[in-house]
Each structure stands twice: as C-alpha cells, then as structure tokens.
Amino acid sequence: MAILNKAQAEQLLKKVLAFSKADECEINLSGSEGGNIRYARNAVSTSGGISRSSLVVSSAYGKKLGVATINEFDDASLEKVVRRSEELAKLAPENPEFMSFLGPQQYKESATYVPATAAIDPKLRADAVATSLKIAKENKLTAAGFMENSAGFSAMMNSHGLFAYNTITSVDFNVTLRTEDGKGSGYASKSYNDVSKLNVDTLTKIAASKAAGSAAAKALEPGKYTVILEPAASVVLLENLFFAMDARQADEGRSFLSKPGGKTKLGEKLVDDKVTIYSDPQHPEMPTSTWSGDGRPQERMNWINKGVVENLYFSRYWANKKNAKPIPSPDGIIMEGTDASLEDLIKGTEKGILVTRLWYIRSVDPQTLLLTGLTRDGTFYIENGKIKHPVKNFRFNESPVIMLNNLDALGKPERCVSGESGLSALIPPMRIRDFTFSSLSDAV
Amino acid sequence: MKRRDFLYLSGLTAGAGLIGPAKLLAAEDLLQPADLALKKRLADIALNAATSKGASYVDVRIGRYLNQSINTREKRVDNIANTESYGMGIRVIANGSWGFASTDNMTPDSIAKTAALAVQIAKFNAPLLEEPLKLAPQKGYGQVSWKTPILQNAFDVPLKDKVDLLLQANDIALQSGVNFVNSSLFCINEQKYFASTEGSYIDQDIHRIWPTFTVTKIEAGSGKFQTRNALSSPMGMGYEYLIPDKKEEIDGIFKLYRNRYDILADMRLASAQVAEKIKARPVEPGKYDLILDPTNLFLTIHESVGHPTELDRVLGYEANYAGTSFLTLDKWKAGNFKFGSEIVHFKGDKTQKGSLGAVGYDDEGVQCGEWDIIKNGVLVNYQVTRDQAHMLGLNASQGCSYADNWKNFQFQRMPNVSLQPNKEGLKVADMIKNTEKGIYMFGRNSYSIDQQRYNFQFSGQLAFEIKNGQIAGLVKDAAYQANTQEFWNACSAIAGEQDYRLGGSFFDGKGQPGQVSAVSHGCSTTKFKGVSIINTGRNI
C-alpha cells in the first residue's frame, strides 16, 4: 500500500468508523514499503522488496470485544470488516479486564520519518554492498552482511474522538568480516531513522579491524574478570532487565523486582548510583513514536534514576486497579554516561577483558535475572591500560542486576542496536568488576 | 463454560510501529481454501511477467497462512486471535543472480510489477556475484498436491471446546494450590501453492498444533518462585493430538506422551511437581552421568546437531547472524570425523508422520525424503537446497528449502533431524539402574550455544538426582554445559524404539530478515557419561 498522508489516513479511518454501530469502535491502520539485501562469502546472496498493509477493527459492546481485520480497501470490504468485528463482539463473553477505549489525546510531533531513507532503492542497497565488499577484499577478509530499509505509516482512530498518526523510516546495516583462515572475526552494526547517518564504509572498516585483531586468540582461564562492555554487547543484557520492568509481574511476585509479601522494589535502590536509564521519544539521537499502539502518549520517562527504580510500566487495566499512572512500555532505552571514550576506559584498566559483542542470550533464572550467553566477534585482554592480545570466547552466567551493582566506570553513550531483539538504544561503554565467565568456547 | 466463541484483540494495537499484525479474520473463514484455478492463473501471470523481463528461472509461492492462538490465565481467557496472511512471493534468477519481491496486492497489474521488481533486483545484484548460481536439476511434477495426514482439523473444532479444555486444565492447577497458571493453544494451517518455470504446480495443506502451559508457585515466606511448563510437544498433527490415548502413553517415573497428549493429566502432575521444585535441594555442581528424556534432548539435538549440519552455515552464508559451523567441509571430506560415539546415528527427513517438518515438497518444489547425516558416529552428510547441492557433488537437492511467509525469501532450513533408537530395545529403567551418580532431566528450559556450535548450556523443567541406580528426588538450579563433540562422544546408551518420541521447536529463528520455522527431533531417552553440571542459583 502507498504511504497515506495524515489527511488521507484520517479520511479513510472516518469512512470506516462511519460504518460502526457498536458502543465503541477503534481502528488501527498501517502500511509499509521496504527492501533488503544480504551478502556472504564476498558476494550478494539474497535480497528483496516487501509491500504490506493492515486494517484492524475493534468493536465493543459493554465489556465484550470483537476484532476483525482486512487488507482490501473498497467500501464493501470496509463495511464487511466492521460488521464482522461487531458480530464477534456480540458472541464474546465479558472480559473483566476490558478497558474502554481512550478519548482524544495530545501527542507531540515525532521525528521518526526521513524522506531520504524512504527514497532508498535497490541500486542504493547494491552500491552499499559493493562498498563493503571492496573493503573486505582489499583486506583479504570474507564479508557477510545485511542491509534493510523500510518506510511506513501507522494511524488509529476511535469513536471517542482519538486520532493518532505517525510515519517512520528505518535503515539497518550490519556486517561480519572473517579472516580467510577462520581464526579472526569482527562485527559492526547500526540502525537509524536517517540514512545520512549510516556510514557503511566506516562500519565495515571497524569490523575489518576487529577481524584482523582477533585472530590468534589465546585461552584465559574462566572465572571472574573486570570487563569493558562495548554498547553493542551491553544492550543485549540491559534489554532483558528493561523488558522485565512490568508492574503486574512484580506485584504478582514473579519478577526480579518482587519482594516477599506482595511488595516490590519500586522506589528502592537496585543498582549502582551511576545508573540512570530513561526513555525519550523526542531524543534527537534516537527518535521513536510519540504514541503507543493503544493510543497512550509516549513521554520522557525515568526508569532507573541514580540506581533507584523510579517507574515500572503498567497495562491500562493494572494501572487502574493499582491506582497508578498507566505508563506504556517505550520503544527504546537511553542510559546516561560520561564524556570518557572507550579508549579512556581501556587506559584506566589494569587487567581486564574488552567484550565487543555478546550472543545467544537466554534467561536462566527469572528470579535473579541470571542470563547466559557467549562473547563473539572480537574479545581482547587488557593489561596496564592497553589491549595486549585477543582471547578465546567465553560463556558467561551473569545477572544484569549484579553487573550494574559492580559498575566501575561509564563512557560516552552511543547509538546501538540489539543483535538479539532489534531494540534501539543509546548506551555508554561500561566497565564492570567481577563479571562471571563460566567456560571457554572454541568458536570464532 | 458459555459464549466463549469470541475473538479478542491480540497485540493488534501495536499501531505505532511498522511491524503490523497479521490479518485477523473470523474462524469460519479459515476453512475456505483459495480456488486452485485462481492460484494457477495468478502464478502464471508472475511466471510470464518475470520471464518476459529476462528471468531465466522463476518460482512463485502463493501463501495463505492461518494461525489461531488462544491464551488463558487462571479463570479467564486473555485473548483469542485468528490471523490470516495472504500474498505472493516471486523469486527469479536473472543474469545468474537471485532476485525476489513480494506483495499482498493480488491484482494482475500488481503481480506483474512485483515480478518486474524481482528481476530488476536480480540485475542490480548480478555484478556483485563471484560466480553465477547453479541449481541442481529438478523435474517439474505437473499439478500435484499434498496434505498433512490429520484426523481432525483443529480449525473445525468449535472455539468453545478449545477454550473449555484450557480452562478445565487451569482449574486443576488452581485447585492444586498453584499461584498462577497460563495455558495456550496454537493452531497453524499453511495453505501453500508453488509454481515454477520448470512445470510444477504444487498445492499443499499443512497443519500444526501446540498446546502448552506454565504453572507458577510462590513460597509464601521467602517469596521464592518456581515454574513448571507442559511436557507436550508441538506436532504436525490436527486436534487429535489433544485426545488422550492410553496406547500413546509411556510409563516412566511418571506418565509421558508420544503421539497423543493428556493436558489434564500433565497439568495435575505439573501442579504437584512445581510444589516439589520449591522444596528441592540445590544441585551439587560436578560431573554426573546425564540421562535426558526426549522432552529435553530434542532441543540439544536441534542446537548441537541440527544447526551445525546446515550447509549454508558451514559455507558462511549465515556468518553475519546465526553463525557458521565447526563441522567444516574438510571434516566431511575426510570421511572419518568422529562427531559422536559408535551408537550415534542421526537421520535428516521431511517425512516422519506427525513431525513439524513433514511436507510433500519443499518451498522450491523438491519432493522430500530421508538421508543419513551422522552414521556410526561419523559425519556423512549435511542439509542442502538446490543452489547448494553442487557444492557437495550431489545431483539433487535434499528438499530443505523453506520460507515462513509469502513475503520472505525461501532458503535452507533444517529438516527433522532425529537420533535413531537402540535396535535391541534397551529400557529406560535399566539405564537408571546402571547409573551410580546421575542427573535425569525432562522438559525444555534455558538453552544457549555459541555461533559455531561448540559450547552449549541447557537446563530442564525437572532434574532428578540418581544415586546408586535409584531416583533420589528433585534437585534445583541444575544446568549442563558441554562441548558438542565431547558430549556426543560421551553418549553411552540409547533406549529402544518403544521410548522414541518427537520433540519440536515451533519458532526456530534464522536468516535476515529473520524468519521462523517449525521442526521436530525424534529420539529415545539417552545417556551421556561424565557431563559437567553447574549450579545456577544466585542472590540479588
């Protein structure tokens, strides 16, 4: 579907809403156009273009809700989808947790759409890959990588007068370079709304440098080490903490934030006081949508402030039950840091390990948030402020809660993207004491 | 239970992001397959349009992907979602390169434009190839069809019956004193139509089902909590999987299930076991003989055998995401690489009845079969698609191509990879009797493995200690860590066919953009000597 502008989306949604006979009706509309290219073994492998759209109609009678969807947009189809959702609502049992749809909301303008990103075509993607491959071949390395771009819109309207509209663009690039003998590997990744910020040349050179530098790794004994985590490594640990900050789970006693007797750690010191984590849809370095999918406005929100758990996110139902503010879960995380560079952190380290990427992160124990996973694509031993040599990869078993209590130093935040979930974040490099590596891996 | 035949919003309001929900529709619409003649006509438009733009090969997949998920907690239904995704993916070779484009706008004009875009992408990419693609020869089958051999279509079963079953199971848990219970049922129907310029028009109707639950128990004083998940498996079956059958039960240290599952009985057992887990003693770390039930071992097979024998990983096509493999071509060429002990025999297949991988033809029109991957402990083969077969000197694909949706490019995905049972019918009870110091594990839990598949760590839903041939109670916080090759070479006993069961993964992730696939792994209970067990308990 073509990307509808605000007026076109509003007109289409009004037309759908006019068919409604239910007590309440809410409609979500979205569409996108995008493309991708993939390469490996120093050659392009697969690529494609994807076009999709969706219209979702929710109708409610009292606390009974019905939902139906269609992706055809002629008048008969639009009326059909509304009638179908109404029929389903009439069949539904009452849901005691149903919340009446929201009334009109105020949203700030979001800065998530960049025309240059929307204009990316197959040629631009192929040219970017050609740039990356040239660097790989010049350095006698083997490249595998991926670039993907998308442009789309989302809109919603309901019978209480709520209307929301947003457009968003995104471009993702990530690349792995490996030495020809398979003994060295390096990685770089970025995700932006604005393609002008993406520098394929620089990213490929970073990956090339890590690949060449990580060959001939030496084995260190597993155990507790001071580590410096680059942002691409720490984001996959922090996001697990962040994804678990749901108020209901905590109140119900089945979260790392639960305490005996139905109490929670909300308002309590959880981690080192250097830790401040927040979200801000208007952040110039990482704009995200100013409204959530159910129409709630997304605002700047502190989650952990100077080590104290300041807010949890609530469903509308749970917030109502607990008489709390219904804070939605946000689209990106931001952690405060300092002006120190990664090099500064390395310089200040007597003995430690630089971790550039972590992989295959899984929860081991939700009560303690213990996670396991491995280092990957460049792990280095630091001695007396300098990188001495690459080391073999480790498996770790560590909780981000314990890790953030052992926080030693922070650097300057930078934009990164989770290799596990795709979540965007603005996170500083961090130095952690006593990080637990439990075994060695032969993987490169 | 009355009037539960409803449809509820399930994550549909994720409106602000770009990744929209699949199309939702009423249950009755799920039963109407698209007209075969119409599908052929639409496919021919794409084949002709792409050929006329210069494609030397074209295949078209028209997919209608129907999912129903029912999620409940305690005494109420959280949501029911019926989703549909319908559209067309067109893959071409032009100037020796792949090109692909997909659309959900199924007008002739849109299909022709999408075909032209696929050809244009191939032509842009061709200069970036080192050598042109080579496809293994494949004959056209003409107009053929295949259907999962189900006894009862899950989409035919009234919603009320499914909801009632889940809530009945929840009631059992609540009456047993658990604090929380969540239960879910997933039903999948892939209606796939494949057509290619080689003369195949293949219509397939594929069904899968997965009932599952989690019970949670919190210890009042300490606030410590434990969970126990269902020991069911996702299956390539209809609703019959949920109809208990004594003949499909296995009498182990408790009841286990083969091709039929008794959710009520498992819920009763789980509710008792989760209370025992709270009281269980922490595992003493160290080396143990490890006995793994198929409900746990299937996932270890998946990660440590299935993934490293994917040829695309071996060759480096997944180097940027899922990773590569330690099972490099030189090890295969040597013909004597000891992947495991003598008794370790793995077959790849896309044919096992009831399995998630079973189809008639893969997503590039290759009829599916069965082959050895590890024989007598030695690596003998991999998993390949048409454009990879020549790299192994094979003159045909093994039929391992799959795409999770019409909108995504099909590529090499794992077939069922299964451990062959002991031919003498070794009994699990004897395996336990012959174990002095062991851990006996059931159910999937935490799982993690490195990008070349050397180092892994797994835990289970239940871990029993074995002392001097006897079960000595549950332990908690146990996980096993091992190196893949050392682990499979420590494989000392495999139970007989009477214990053989399928486990499976419904959402195996791979590729960029990311795709999921569903795959089964069959095995019997298996023993491994001297495996490292760690204790994962911590305090925060």
Predicted pLDDT of residue B25? 42
pLDDT at A393 over 50: yes
Predicted pLDDT of residue A81? 84
Give the separation between CA B114 and CA B139, rounded to whole angstroms.
26
Which structural domain, as residue segments, surrounds residue A337?
A: 217-444
Residue at a domain's end among A130, A151, A180: A180
Residue at a domain's end among B253, B279, B305: B279
Q: Does the residue A205 lie in any domain?
A: no
pLDDT at B10 over 60: no
Residues A175, A221 within the same domain: no
pLDDT at A218 over 90: yes
* Residue among A53, A362, A438 minimizing CB distance to B104: A53
ipTM above 0.90, yes or no: yes
B475-491 average pLDDT score: 98
Q: Does the residue B56 lie in any domain?
A: yes
**Nearest residue of B to residue A42 by CA position?**
B130
Residues B231, B328 within the same domain: no
Q: Which of A150, A156, A155 lies closest to A168, judged by CA?
A: A150
Q: What is the pLDDT of residues B369-425, one digit of tens each?
A: 999 999 999 999 999 999 999 999 999 999 999 999 999 999 999 999 999 999 999
Residue at a domain's end among B248, B279, B310: B279
How far off is chain B from A346, nearest CA to CA, in Å? 26
Predicted pLDDT of residue B249? 97
Residues A164, A247 within the same domain: no
Q: Which residues between 379 and 408 in chain A have a beta carbon less than 8 angstroms from any beta carbon of chain B?
A: 393, 395, 397, 399, 401-402
Residue B159's pLDDT band (cuts 50, 70, 90)? confident
| Angle between the N-to-C axes of helices B108-125 and B36-52, in degrees from 0 to 180, rounded to the nearest 10 | 40
Q: Does the residue A16 lie in any domain?
A: yes
Give the separation between CA B239 and CA B154, rounded to whole angstroms.
5
pLDDT at B11 over 60: no
Residues B334, B464 within the same domain: yes
pLDDT at B26 over 70: no
Residues B230, B356 within the same domain: no
A31-60 average pLDDT score: 91
Number of domains in chain A: 2
Residues A314, A269 within the same domain: yes
Is A155's Cβ below 8 Å from some Cβ in B?
A: yes
Residues A271, A137 within the same domain: no
* Residue among B21, B316, B538 minimizing CB distance to A142: B316
Q: What is the pLDDT of residues A119-166, one digit of tens each?
A: 999 999 999 999 999 999 999 999 999 999 999 999 999 999 999 999
**Nearest residue of B to residue A358 by CA position?**
B450
Residues B265, B295 within the same domain: no
Number of CB pairs, chain A paired with chain B, less than 8 A apart? 319
Answer whether A266's CB lies under 8 Å from A307's CB: no
Number of domains in chain B: 2
Q: What is the pLDDT of residues A167-217, one digit of tens each?
A: 999 999 999 999 999 999 999 999 999 999 999 999 999 999 999 999 999
Predicted pLDDT of residue B28? 44
Residues B210, B322 within the same domain: no
pLDDT at B3 over 80: no
Residues B324, B448 within the same domain: yes
Residues B160, B302 within the same domain: no
* Residue among B4, B225, B452 minimizing CB distance to A367: B225
pLDDT at A375 over 80: yes
Which structural domain, as residue segments, surrounds residue B399?
A: 286-535
Residues B520, B455 within the same domain: yes
Q: Does the residue A190 lie in any domain?
A: no
* Residue among A56, A87, A293 minimizing CB distance to B16: A293
What does pLDDT average to over chain B? Answer: 92
Answer whether B76's CB lies under 8 Å from A95's CB: yes
How far off is chain B from A209, nearest CA to CA, in Å? 16
* Percent of chain B predicted with pLDDT > 70: 94
Residue at a domain's end among B241, B259, B279: B279
Q: Does the residue B46 lie in any domain?
A: yes
Residues A299, A430 within the same domain: yes
Answer whether B43's CB lies under 8 Å from B198's CB: no
Q: Does the residue B540 lie in any domain?
A: no
Q: What is the pLDDT of residues B60-102, one digit of tens each?
A: 999 988 888 888 999 988 877 777 788 999 999 999 999 999 9
Predicted pLDDT of residue B498? 97
> Does the global pTM surpass 0.90?
yes
Residues A172, A310 within the same domain: no
Q: Does the residue A206 lie in any domain?
A: no
Residue B186's pLDDT band (cuts 50, 70, 90)? very high
Alpha helices in A66-185 (DSSP H): 75-91, 115-118, 122-138
Residues A277, A409 within the same domain: yes
- Residues ≥6 apart with Cβ < 8 Å to B225: A253, A254, A258, A367, B179, B216, B217, B218, B219, B278
pLDDT at B192 over 60: yes
Residue A13's CATH number: 3.30.2290.10
Residues B261, B315 within the same domain: no
Q: Does the residue A197 lie in any domain?
A: no
Q: E-assigned strands of A138-184? A: 141-158, 163-179
**Nearest residue of B to residue A1 by CA position?**
B105
The one-letter amino acid code at B490 reads: A
Residues B344, B452 within the same domain: yes
- Residues ≥6 apart with Cβ < 8 Å to A50: A32, A33, A34, A35, A36, B101, B102, B407, B408
Tokens for A186? 């390096």
Q: Does the residue A194 lie in any domain?
A: no
Using the beta-carbon criterion (under 8 Å), do B21 and A36 form an inter-chain contact?
Answer: no
Residue B154's CATH number: 3.30.2290.10
How far off is chain A from B3, nearest CA to CA, in Å? 6
